[in-house]
Chain A
Amino acid sequence: MPRRFPPAMRHLLSATVQNVPGVLSHISGMLASRGYNIDSLAVGETEAPDLSRMTFVVRGDDRVLDQVRLQLEKIVTVVQVNDISSRDYVERDLMLIKVQAPAGAVRSQVKELADIFRGKIVDVAGDSVVVEISGTENKIEGFIDMMRPLGILELVRTGRIAMVRGNEPGPSGDVTHLPADHAISPETLA
């Protein structure tokens, strides 16, 4: 069964970090050595080449979260940390899932479900297909639940990434210029 937690315990932290060797190792080591539970960690470069963005999903009460944030901020190469859970934000997770789907009724069923979940089939082999799907954690896990009876052969996820909506100052303190109507509402399938 997919793990589900009370929403209040689940926090999305967005951190900008200096793009230097070892920063990921430093951060993951700190989190592990202090016993914090990390559900997901995604990292990638930003528009500024010397900065990377890390997005964490952390579980815990407010006190735990405060400590995680403060301990992260204490790391010299961490530039800024924001808990964006309390803000209006867009959250995405990208998944590639390979399921058993021999040509015929089962494959049609996968195709149909992928369409409903706004995913797409990106590879077809004799007995299996690979579906690419992105969305919120709930949506992704909903799709996994639907695929489970068919037989999941392989599954890979990027981990959560997130961005604050509209013109609210973003996690790095700047203003994002994405018009509000470009932002997509989080689906509540599942």
Chain B
Amino acid sequence: MATADRPHTSDTFVLGADAVVESLVRQGVEVIFAYPGGASMPLHQSLTRYADRLRTILPRHEQGGAFAAQGYARSTGKPGVCMGTSGPGALNLVTAIADARMDSVPLIALTGQVGTSVIGTDAFQETPIVEVCRSITKHHYLVTDANDIPRVMREAFHVATTGRQGPVLIDLPKNVQLTQIQPDYDAEMRLPGYRPEPRAVKPEQIAQVAAAIKRAKKPVIYAGGGVISGEASAELRELVRKTGIPVTMTLMGLGAYPGDQPLSLDMLGMHGSVYANYAVDEADLLIAVGVRFDDRVTGNVEKFAQHGFIVHIDVDPSEINKNKLVHVPIVADVKEALVELNKVVEPPAAGLDDWHAQIARWKSEDPFAYDETYSGILAQEAIAELSRLTAERDTVISVGVGQHQMWSAQFYKFREPRRWLSSSGLGTMGFGLPAAMGAAVGCPDAVVVDIDGDGSFLMNVQELATCHCEKIPVKVLLLNNQHLGMVVQWEDRFFKGNRAHTYLGPVHHPEAAGQGDGISPEARYPDFVGVATSFGWQAETISEKADLTPALQRLIDAEGPALLDVQVPYQEHVLPMIPSGMTVRELIKE
């Protein structure tokens, strides 16, 4: 092969598996979440040889490992790496890969594969994982020639971390891992169809946006995950400072602009704030940055922001005009576009005093609220209190999916990007604990709290073991209502309250049929304190309002992993709410 006379070719032969791990180290990878099996054993053997440079963490389920890699990536901005063996190991990564695709998370998933000589024979633990993952990865490889390993590894990291980021799968047959090669770590990439370089922002488009801002009377910025993955939070803040335009954020965008600032409209959409949804509805200019006009944001997309002139800035050309036709489409790196805009932008000529006053009225009329007179602890109150107690500390919050996720988005004030980890596009229950685990590894100086529901928490509860054994000091605030609360809420709203498999306790309890009048402490199931302590965690449970603040403080201050089980009622609904496919006119306030 021509590689023999390349200057960077190593003189010595190494195993394919070593070339994989060496490539990880050269890419700056510091941790991999990997669960071994027959077809990935050579890779694990190699990882032991690199133990001084690359930490290997053994999750207790491949899905936990992949979500940990996501938590690492989302909180640090660096690519997360996970690995599983062939067949079931690889398939257990699939949900987290699809999740990374939906939320544009740079994830490298390595899988062992059966030897190339038996591929296609339905060999033991054989699954065509590349076929399975085609539509849920940004790119994918089945490496059949070990000499391709260094190039494929380079390409994978390049593809995962540039343009609109996403997951890349590399499937490595066992014999390829065991083949001796002379690796060329500088092998040229072969990606003729991949052009992620940000297109030069057209000055005339920037001028159009600046002109639109100048004549606007009711402008709103609608900021999404693209601002965070594009590292453009500072530029967004600069734009707001220069123009006074209020900002609403998507679920993915929380933290792009500080939630405790007067110009923050908090989250918009289905469970967004009344004031954000009113403001977008009345806006005469909507500046959409790093967003994709998701149905959970827009409701009826035809009527969304129908009175306004719409600017859409995104790095992915296929997002432009996909869900909503816009007036000024700008395909660009979000950061670069905002830098250019900030150079020329001027505040609206007519001033925004009236608009700010209108927004302040909406905010005071319909703030996010809960019944503060409730005798026990409401989930919303626990989250708001955690937000207050951690305001001065670098805190990363992860969540599962459901009511607790929406309440966290509403009541926790995120001040910085990459401090809010939520499976937003795919909505994967069980995301919270493993994501927190990865974030705690990537951000050792931060307090990392998984705010979870009892349904979501149980879906990856095995990672309690990983946190204990690997000394990862994750905190869990478990908002335990014994139900799948969000589904219960929809049952109450749209199915006359008929309980359909949404009670998480024994089926003979009256609650399973939607009866009963509250669950006594003894009847609660399972005993989460017992579960957590058996895994080596500190844990306590509370139900009294007076215990909330001190217990939260103990949780935050705990040395190692710790869990606080908070008994909350299941009758609460997440409000406000715009039912699916509806408009702000149908917004439910109570």
- A residues lining the B interface (CB < 8 Å): 16-18, 21-22, 25-26, 29-30, 33, 63, 66-67, 70-71, 73-80
- Whether the pair B193, A17 counts as a contact (CB closer than 8 A) is yes
Complex contacts, A77 vs chain B, CB 8 Å: 193
Complex contacts, A71 vs chain B, CB 8 Å: 318
Interface residues on B, range: 20 to 34
- Whether the pair A76, B191 counts as a contact (CB closer than 8 A) is yes
Least Cβ distance of B343 to chain A in Å?
29
In whole angstroms, how far apart are the Cα atoms of A76 and B190 in the complex?
A: 10
- Whether the pair A76, B159 counts as a contact (CB closer than 8 A) is yes
Least Cβ distance of A112 to chain B in Å?
48
Least Cβ distance of A58 to chain B in Å?
15
- Whether the pair B142, A78 counts as a contact (CB closer than 8 A) is no
Complex contacts, B318 vs chain A, CB 8 Å: 67, 70-71, 73-74
Interface presence of B317 (CB below 8 A): yes
- Whether the pair A76, B138 counts as a contact (CB closer than 8 A) is yes
Complex contacts, A22 vs chain B, CB 8 Å: 130-131, 134, 142
The residue among A30, A63, A76, A79 with the most chain B CB atoms within 10 A of its own CB is A76
- B residues lining the A interface (CB < 8 Å): 130-131, 134-135, 138-139, 142, 159, 190-194, 316-318, 320-322, 325
- 14 further interface pairs, Cβ-Cβ under 8 Å (given A67-B322, A76-B159): A17-B193, A18-B190, A18-B193, A21-B142, A22-B142, A25-B134, A26-B135, A29-B135, A67-B321, A71-B318, A76-B138, A76-B194, A78-B193, A80-B193
Name 27 interchain pairs, CB-CB below 8 A, sorted by A: A17-B193, A18-B190, A18-B192, A18-B193, A22-B130, A22-B131, A22-B134, A25-B131, A26-B134, A26-B135, A29-B134, A29-B135, A30-B135, A63-B321, A63-B325, A66-B321, A67-B318, A67-B321, A67-B322, A70-B320, A73-B318, A74-B317, A74-B318, A76-B139, A76-B194, A77-B193, A79-B192
Complex contacts, B190 vs chain A, CB 8 Å: 18
Complex contacts, A74 vs chain B, CB 8 Å: 316-318
- Whether the pair B321, A79 counts as a contact (CB closer than 8 A) is no
In whole angstroms, how far apart are the Cα atoms of A26 and B130 in the complex?
A: 10
Least Cβ distance of B132 to chain A in Å?
11
A51 to chain B: closest residue by CB: B192
Least Cβ distance of B194 to chain A in Å?
5
Least Cβ distance of A70 to chain B in Å?
4
Complex contacts, A25 vs chain B, CB 8 Å: 131, 134
In whole angstroms, how far apart are the Cα atoms of A187 and B131 in the complex?
A: 42
A33 to chain B: closest residue by CB: B135
In whole angstroms, how far apart are the Cα atoms of A164 and B295 in the complex?
A: 40
Least Cβ distance of A129 to chain B in Å?
40
Complex contacts, A33 vs chain B, CB 8 Å: 135
B164 to chain A: closest residue by CB: A74
Complex contacts, B134 vs chain A, CB 8 Å: 22, 25-26, 29
In whole angstroms, how far apart are the Cα atoms of A21 and B317 in the complex?
A: 26
- By secondary structure, the B interface counts as loop
Complex contacts, B320 vs chain A, CB 8 Å: 70
In whole angstroms, how far apart are the Cα atoms of A79 and B575 in the complex?
A: 47
- Whether the pair A76, B131 counts as a contact (CB closer than 8 A) is no
In whole angstroms, how far apart are the Cα atoms of A76 and B134 in the complex?
A: 11
Complex contacts, B138 vs chain A, CB 8 Å: 76
In whole angstroms, how far apart are the Cα atoms of A29 and B128 in the complex?
A: 15
Given contacts A29-B135, A33-B135, A76-B138, contact A70 B193 (CB under 8 A): no
The list of the 10 closest CB pairs from A to B, nearest first, reads A70-B318, A79-B193, A76-B139, A76-B194, A79-B192, A78-B193, A26-B134, A70-B317, A74-B318, A71-B318
Least Cβ distance of A86 to chain B in Å?
18
In whole angstroms, how far apart are the Cα atoms of A100 and B322 in the complex?
A: 49
B325 to chain A: closest residue by CB: A63
Least Cβ distance of B169 to chain A in Å?
12
Least Cβ distance of B178 to chain A in Å?
22
In whole angstroms, how far apart are the Cα atoms of A80 and B192 in the complex?
A: 9
Complex contacts, B131 vs chain A, CB 8 Å: 22, 25
Complex contacts, A30 vs chain B, CB 8 Å: 135
- Whether the pair B317, A73 counts as a contact (CB closer than 8 A) is yes
A74 to chain B: closest residue by CB: B318
In whole angstroms, how far apart are the Cα atoms of A83 and B342 in the complex?
A: 36
In whole angstroms, how far apart are the Cα atoms of A21 and B145 in the complex?
A: 13
A66 to chain B: closest residue by CB: B321
Least Cβ distance of B398 to chain A in Å?
29
Given contacts A25-B131, A25-B134, A33-B135, contact A76 B193 (CB under 8 A): yes
Least Cβ distance of A4 to chain B in Å?
28
Least Cβ distance of B101 to chain A in Å?
11
In whole angstroms, how far apart are the Cα atoms of A5 and B207 in the complex?
A: 42
Complex contacts, A70 vs chain B, CB 8 Å: 317-318, 320
Least Cβ distance of B63 to chain A in Å?
22
In whole angstroms, how far apart are the Cα atoms of A163 and B575 in the complex?
A: 57
In whole angstroms, how far apart are the Cα atoms of A85 and B139 in the complex?
A: 29
Complex contacts, A75 vs chain B, CB 8 Å: 193
In whole angstroms, how far apart are the Cα atoms of A26 and B142 in the complex?
A: 13
Complex contacts, A66 vs chain B, CB 8 Å: 321
Complex contacts, A18 vs chain B, CB 8 Å: 190, 192-193
Least Cβ distance of A56 to chain B in Å?
16
B130 to chain A: closest residue by CB: A22
In whole angstroms, how far apart are the Cα atoms of A80 and B193 in the complex?
A: 7
Least Cβ distance of A81 to chain B in Å?
9
Complex contacts, A79 vs chain B, CB 8 Å: 192-193
Least Cβ distance of B198 to chain A in Å?
16
In whole angstroms, how far apart are the Cα atoms of A157 and B131 in the complex?
A: 27
In whole angstroms, how far apart are the Cα atoms of A77 and B316 in the complex?
A: 17
In whole angstroms, how far apart are the Cα atoms of A29 and B136 in the complex?
A: 11
In whole angstroms, how far apart are the Cα atoms of A71 and B318 in the complex?
A: 6
